[in-house]
Amino acid sequence: MMGRPPCCDKIGVKKGPWTPEEDIILVSYIQEHGPGNWRSVPTNTGLLRCSKSCRLRWTNYLRPGIKRGNFTDHEEKMIIHLQALLGNRWAAIASYLPQRTDNDIKNYWNTHLKKKLRKMQSLGGGGGSEGSGVQSQSNTTLSKGQWERRLQTDIHTAKKALCEALSLEKKPNLEEYYYNNNLKILQESPTAPTPPPQTTTTTTTYASSAENIARLLENWMKKSPTKSSEITTTTQVCMSEEGSQISATNNYNNNSPDHQKPNNNNNLEGFFNNYSSHSTTNDQEAVVPLTFLEKWLFDDAALAHVHDDDDHQLISVSLDEAQSEGLF
DNA sequence: AAGGAGGCCAACCGCCGCGGA
DNA sequence: GTCCGCGGCGGTTGGCCTCCT
């Protein structure tokens, strides 16, 4: 067909940091229409942003359930391990850490973990791999057959490593994980728990909260010296089979332009009742395992217990899940 | 207290795969 | 079958912040 309209006009597109006002416009729009169809977002909202920018802002900052800063030890280890297995596939890695965005993980890797690993490798004496991760040591030229065999071996090794890593986790399968995780989230909420979804796709559930909005409102408060009010973070999660849509029953000022007024906390309450995202990972890239690092990772036998902490609502990667994602 | 250096992170850029026309 | 836009991803950057001298 003759050219759809471009996703954004290059002229008149605003760049740079998002303002709280823009955030609220975007959030209220997504609340009404759900995430997706990003092309229509700038036109329908009047935001002078390109669709990509809107999507990015949502996924990296405004999306409910995002945890920021302070990576836990367990998260750190998962990232390191997954990075070793998957390489720099931040989106894939992020799918195992639902509270973290790929951007966050990427940043954390680049700013903290790279350095940390380098340090540990120099301490451990072994090494050979450089900063960008735990890379395969083989640089020798191989014939195609050799290369394939090597790759297979690497994949096998990676599988094993992942198996071991996963066996440290206490959640034995995906359904149980979802159920447990869901319950955990629901502990914050007065609503009744829902049964685990009957699905084999990797549906990543985000803890719903108004934290992100609260945060942006907080910023707004700073700008406007009105009284800062406490945002209640009542959360309510119910997993739908379809997922990916914010419940239409939420009433974050659906009909009123008042959504731009930040003090209306009642409207924030229950804002994100239901949100989940889909991720399809099909990563088969395997990288040769770890030596010193591996030890460091696996030595942490307490790993499995970390989940008890409410602050650690991590996806425990089950073997089933990994298998269904083509890791094996 | 001031200036510089380095760190951190939000956002942009460019590429790629997919799907619709 | 081809073209083109969209959405997603990873790499990179620029500006703000913190720490150090």
> Is the CB of A92 less than 7 A from some atom of nucleic acid strand C?
yes
Do A18 and A43 fall into the same domain? Answer: yes
Do A59 and A79 fall into the same domain? Answer: no
d(CA A15, CA A78): 34
- Higher pLDDT: A51 or A178? It is A51
d(CA A212, CA A208): 10
Q: Output the six-digit token pair for A307.
A: 């989940």
Do A52 and A92 fall into the same domain? Answer: no
Give whichever of A2-16, A169-183, A189-203, A248-262 has the largest mean pLDDT. A2-16
Give nucleotides in strand B with any atom < 7 A to a protein C-beta.
Answer: 7-14, 20-21
Supply φ then ψ for residue A311, to 5 degrees: -75, -5
* Distance of A119 CA from B3 C1′ (whole Å): 30
Range of the structural domain that residue A80 is part of = 69-121
Find the CATH number of the domain harbouring A103: 1.10.10.60
Place of tokens 């597109």: A13
Do A17 and A30 fall into the same domain? Answer: yes
Q: Output the six-digit token pair for A46.
A: 């009047």
Q: Is A204 helix (H, G, I), strand (E, B) or coil?
A: strand
Label residue A287 by pLDDT band (50, 70, 90). Answer: very low
**Is A200 contained in some domain?**
no
Label residue A297 by pLDDT band (50, 70, 90). Answer: low
A191 by Cβ neighbours in 10 Å (0-12 / 13-18 / 19+) ranks as middle
Do A53 and A73 fall into the same domain? Answer: no
CA distances for A86 relative to A70, A113, A161, A194, A255, angstroms: 23, 15, 12, 32, 44
Residue A244 DSSP code: S
Domain boundary among A82, A103, A121: A121
Do A41 and A82 fall into the same domain? Answer: no
Mean pLDDT of A257-270: 33
Average pLDDT score, chain A: 56
The pLDDT of residue A325: 43
**Is A47 contained in some domain?**
yes
Domain boundary among A121, A148, A163: A121
**Is A243 contained in some domain?**
no
Do A18 and A56 fall into the same domain? Answer: yes
How far apart, in Å, do the first and last CA atoms of chain A sit?
A: 41
Residue at shortest CA–C1' distance from C13: A16
> Is the CB of A272 less than 7 A from some atom of nucleic acid strand C?
no
The pLDDT of residue A139: 36
Do A92 and A48 fall into the same domain? Answer: no
Helix, strand and coil content of chain A, in percent to the nearest 5, comes to 45, 0, 50
d(CA A172, CA A179): 12
> Is the CB of A112 less than 7 A from some atom of nucleic acid strand B?
yes
- Higher pLDDT: A226 or A164? It is A164
d(CA A286, CA A77): 17
Give whichever of A173-177, A216-220, A311-315 has the largest mean pLDDT. A216-220
The pLDDT of residue A159: 56
Residue A81 has pLDDT above 80, yes or no: yes
Label residue A214 by pLDDT band (50, 70, 90). Answer: low
Quick check: A271 and A31 in contact, CB under 8 A? yes
> Is the CB of A109 less than 7 A from some atom of nucleic acid strand C?
no
Q: Output the six-digit token pair for A294.
A: 């591996």
Do A58 and A75 fall into the same domain? Answer: no
The pLDDT of residue A189: 34
- Higher pLDDT: A108 or A114? It is A108
Residue A138 has pLDDT above 60, yes or no: no
**Is A19 contained in some domain?**
yes
**Is A103 contained in some domain?**
yes
* Distance of A125 CA from C5 C1′ (whole Å): 51
Alpha-carbon Rg of chain A, whole angstroms? 22
Which are the contacts of A117, defined by CB distance < 8 A and separation ≥ 6?
A80, A131, A133, A134, A293
The total number of structural domains that make up chain A: 2
- According to DSSP, the residues that pair with A203 across neighbouring strands are A278
pLDDT tens digits, residue range A51-70?
A: 888 988 988 888 887 887 78
**Is A147 contained in some domain?**
no
Closest by Cα among A236, A239, A248 to A203? A239
**Is A312 contained in some domain?**
no
Residue A249 has pLDDT above 80, yes or no: no
Do A60 and A88 fall into the same domain? Answer: no
Closest by Cα among A139, A147, A152, A124 to A296? A124
Q: What is the pTM of this model?
A: 0.57
Which are the contacts of A204, defined by CB distance < 8 A and separation ≥ 6?
A95, A98, A276, A277, A278, A279, A315
**Is A113 contained in some domain?**
yes
Mean pLDDT of A158-171: 50
Label residue A161 by pLDDT band (50, 70, 90). Answer: low
Give nucleotides in strand C with any atom < 7 A to a protein C-beta.
Answer: 4-12
Q: What percent of chain A has pLDDT over 70?
A: 33
